[in-house]
A and B are shown apart, each in its own frame.
Chain A
Amino acid sequence: MTVTRGDPPAGGTTADARPERGRRSHVPGEGSATAVAVEQARRAMLHDVRQRKRTRIGADVLMEALIRQGVDTMFSYPGGVILPIYDILGDYPEVRHILVRHEQGGAHAADGYARASGKVGVCMGTSGPGATNLVTGIGTAMLDSVPMVALTGNVASPLLGKDAFQEIDITGITLPMTKHNYLVRHADDIPRVVAEAFYIASHGRPGPVHVDFTKDALQQETRAQHPSEEEVMAGLPGFRPTIEGHPKQIKTAAREVAEAKRPLILAGHGILVANAEEALRAFAEKTQIPVAWSLLGIGAMDEDHPLAYGYMGMHGWKHVNRAIQSADLLIAIGMRFDDRVTGSVSTYAPYARIIHADIDPAEIGKNVAVEVPIVGDAKRVLEALTHAVHPVTREARAGYLDQLAAWREESEATSWHGSGRWREGVLTADLVVERIGELTSHVGTYVADVGQNQMWTARYTKFKRPNSHISSGGLGTMGYGVPAAMGAALGNPDAETWAIVGDGGFQMTSQELMTLVADRIPVKIAILDNKKLGMIRQWQEIVYAGNFHSSHLPGPDFCKLAEAYGMPGWKVSRPEDVDGAIRAAQATDGPALIWFETEEEQNVLPMMPAGKGLSDLIETWGGPEE
């Protein structure tokens, strides 16, 4: 192929055109192999060189690898450098491609899919902005230990580092917020890297793995074979998660349990990840120890179980936090003593010794010093513990359990919900959430956004099965709700899926309404619209002396918005209309939206103010003068 450099300067003659002022090359280091490769890649970026013969290329190998991993759904958005994948995607009908409307929505959807199904979620975006748009979703998955493989394209390898069109150092960006990441420059490496990515994402403590492919890697022909799991493990000598708890530690823990008079189990997300719900119940029943849970531990135990005590932490139930503060032993399984759980560590659980079991050794001793550390999988550790402890009868613990029951009765009766203003005809958010739980028989999938809506969902929905509650806990990502619900509905199609979101978070990712409609994904959206950034407003009221700045948040007519996207919508402003609207949405075949205009200044109470401890809960708030 020849390169045309344009005509010689006009008006010149061959006679007076000095050779050194003639045609010039602007190629740095022209003639070198690198320079030739850069030029070819640059041309290929503009015009895909020539019609490709249908041979097995890197993009094929990627799709083969995904299918081998059992991927049936991916959430993606096309772009220049991943066009080689879109060019062959039609040849792989095994994988359902959901065309999202923004890459962030794709990442959250993959996350919701993973949490609802227990499988690895897959999202994909192009280089540059496509990749950076995935970042918030990858970070969300990282902080909540969600297995995800995020795929991005990058510019052709000779162009790396040249600030080519839509080039960004995305592996540099995702490095600190993924479990591991890769940059693949050769098609031959794709089978190994993709297999490793899925293995790492789903083994040990789960997390997101990001794989960046150069465009030429996706286009090269290859005969590379897919590795077996043994070969994958052999290639990862630095990745050997500890599964079994150390027998000596189990024995020590069993002794602590036997001596405790006021023990309490703290169940975290690790229970759900390890499918340890049965093991947890067996251990709690054998020892008659009540169970409290963190935000992501919701669903670890059926809330109707007599030993299920409740949600703990900053906006947890008063009786649960009270039990923690008076416990003499905490048995923490698969949780990480986040600051939203402990508040001030120096005053946390002041009478308690702590047994802490987690599959990630770095979590033990990170936030809270513990007496009995156990590294291992939540299910294996619980099974070993159950085997090691002596049974305790309900009668033997009667004094303790009766007291906890009395605390619970008092706390529930005096809560916002118990004494709630919905009785007086005010539409409050807690009522909406409770009715959604009730009318779905508590067996749906409930995806919260972030903020007050998230706390109300956690407190009042009532959860009865694992993975029925999905929420961005660690990163606290507003805008998570709707796209994550989209993924959850596909990840667990048998469960009715509700997105319970605030008006603020909803407006961050509402473009995915179109995806829901286009792909007929039956998510029911409940917008709790207080026309505020509610949690910001609450903090401004209670912590910042009523200085309300930027927390009033006007929104659109949400029903008209839904209608514009082709989705039915209902508006509810009175408590008596709540059930009807929920039933109407349930009766809809496909997605639906309900706009709940709720009380504008409702707070989530109790609340542990920042920097305070679990004993310093604010239970009522009538204003600063009280």
Chain B
Amino acid sequence: MTPETAAHAAPPPRALPGSGEARRHALVVLVMDRPGVLNRVASLMRARNFNIDSLAVSRTDREHVSRMTITLHGDDVAVEQAAKQLYKLIDVLKVQDVTADQVVEHELALIKVRATDANRAEVIKIVELYKGRIVDIAPESVIVEATGTESEIDALVALTRSYGIKELVRTGAIVMLRGAGSIEEALKL
């Protein structure tokens, strides 16, 4: 008896890869520090239809190796596919999805908030409660510097919004594994 002629019910539809529930992922990408490598990574994510939420790039302590932290939303299979596509770039040395790992995650924000003589003291007090720092004071404004996780900074931004945000800049998250484990040390160079 063949399945085609079998009397049993039609099988369930085959699952489509990447159609699961989306969540926030953080990818650590170690790359060769060569001209255009940022362009390659960004272009690949665009071409493969992935939307980057944040991207932070810097040198590492290893010669010729740079480190990117990419945050993006997607279902686990889709993000795995993004990681595998990144791996295909010749200049990419390592890609690790640290979403499920214990990590320290921080980003830095500068927020220029309206502050007059009437409410400056209030603004400063609230900012300091949130472990923000005032790094510049002018007659009409203050600049708040804050570090923390994405959600901590979101909360501070929401709070200062009522005073009026003149300008906001965020670096995007950088992450590092907790404990002795090292993404870089596993590199074979």
Contact = CB atoms under 8 A, between A and B. Distances in A.
Interface of A: 171-172, 175-176, 179-180, 183, 200, 236-239, 262, 322, 325-326, 328, 345-351, 360-362, 365-369, 403
A347 B13 contact: yes
A475 to B, nearest CB: 15
A238 B90 contact: yes
A172 B47 CA distance: 13
Contacts, number: 76
B170 interface: no
Contacts of A349: 14
15 contacts: A175-B36, A175-B43, A183-B36, A237-B188, A238-B32, A238-B90, A239-B90, A346-B16, A350-B13, A350-B14, A361-B87, A362-B88, A366-B81, A367-B17, A369-B15
A362 B43 CA distance: 17
B39 interface: yes
Nearest to A362: B84
A-B interface, 5 closest residue pairs, ranked by CB to CB distance from nearest: A346-B13, A362-B84, A350-B11, A351-B3, A326-B4
B57 interface: no
B93 A237 contact: yes
A239 B14 CA distance: 33
Given A239-B90, A366-B81, A262 B14 contact: no
B92 interface: yes
Contacts of A360: 88
B55 interface: no
A175 B92 CA distance: 14
A232 to B, nearest CB: 12
A348 to B, nearest CB: 6
A349 B13 CA distance: 10
Given A362-B81, A369-B77, 20 more contacts: A175-B43, A176-B43, A183-B35, A237-B187, A238-B32, A238-B90, A239-B90, A322-B4, A326-B4, A346-B13, A347-B14, A349-B14, A350-B14, A351-B11, A360-B88, A361-B84, A365-B77, A365-B81, A369-B15, A403-B2
Contacts of B81: 362, 365-366
B184 interface: no
B13 to A, nearest CB: 4
Interface in B67-119: 77, 80-81, 84-85, 87-93
Nearest to A375: B84
A107 B122 CA distance: 68
Contacts of A348: 14
Nearest to B91: A238
B39 A175 contact: yes
Interface residues of B, number: 34
A176 B44 contact: yes
A351 B13 CA distance: 10
Interface string B49-67: 0000000000000000000
Task: Pick from B4, B10, B40, B91 the residue with the most CB of A within 10 Å.
Answer: B4
B43 to A, nearest CB: 5
Interface string B1-41: 01110000011011111000000000000011001100110
B189 interface: yes
A262 B17 contact: no
Nearest to A367: B17
Contacts of A328: 3
Given A200-B90, A326-B2, A345-B14, A237 B32 contact: yes
A346 B4 CA distance: 17
Nearest to B2: A326
Taking each of A237, A325, A368, A369, which has the highest tally of chain B beta carbons within 10 Å of its own beta carbon? A237
Contacts of B17: 365-369
Contacts of B11: 350-351
Max chain B C-beta neighbours (<10 A), residue from A171, A346, A403: A346
A270 to B, nearest CB: 15
Contacts of B40: 175
A328 B43 CA distance: 39
Contact of A236 (B15, B80, B87, B90): B90
Nearest to B88: A362
A284 B146 CA distance: 64
Contact of B89 (A183, A238, A325, A345): A238
A369 B15 CA distance: 7
Contact of B14 (A200, A326, A346): A346
A262 B32 contact: no
Contacts of A322: 4
Contact of B85 (A346, A362, A367): A362
Contacts of A366: 17, 81
A369 B87 contact: no
A69 B189 CA distance: 26
B44 to A, nearest CB: 7
B70 to A, nearest CB: 16
Of A238, A239, A346, A348, the most chain B CB neighbours within 10 A belong to A238
Contact of B92 (A171, A183, A238, A325): A238
A367 B19 CA distance: 11
B52 to A, nearest CB: 15
